[in-house]
Amino acid sequence: MELTIKPEALDWFKREITLEPGMGIRFFGKAYGSTQVHDGFSIGMSVDSPEKPMVEKDFDGILFFTEEEDDWFFKGYNLTVDYDETLDEPKYNFSER
């Protein structure tokens, strides 16, 4: 899985989320909702520290990651985190690898 954070989304994270040292932004699959590739599941986000990271990426000093336990959700896909200007929040786009 490739993880990409678009510059506009990165700016949103910098404005909205304060991270303590060793902490990062975790993306994970959660029940309810939907994505363009999952029906009944949506993407969740939390402030956390990695335990068994599947993907770890540093974008301008901010750690973004997924955990091995969430492989079921991301398997076969790349994730791009973009910014929705209208809603003033991140939006998530999946693409096949």
Report the CATH number that the domain containing residue 80 is assigned in CATH. Answer: 2.60.300.12
| β strands within the chain, DSSP E | 3-5, 24-34, 39-48, 53-59, 62-67, 77-84, 89-96
Q: Which structural domain range is residue 49 located in?
A: 3-96
Provide the CB-side half-sphere exposure for 20 (13 A, CA): 3
Asked if residue 67 lies in contact with residue 46, where contact means CB atoms within 8 angstroms, the answer is no
Question: Does residue 57 register a pLDDT over 80?
Answer: yes
Domain count, the chain: 1
Question: Does residue 17 register a pLDDT over 90?
Answer: yes
Question: Does residue 97 register a pLDDT over 90?
Answer: no
Query: Cα 92 vs. chain centroid, distance in angstroms?
Result: 8
Global pTM value: 0.91
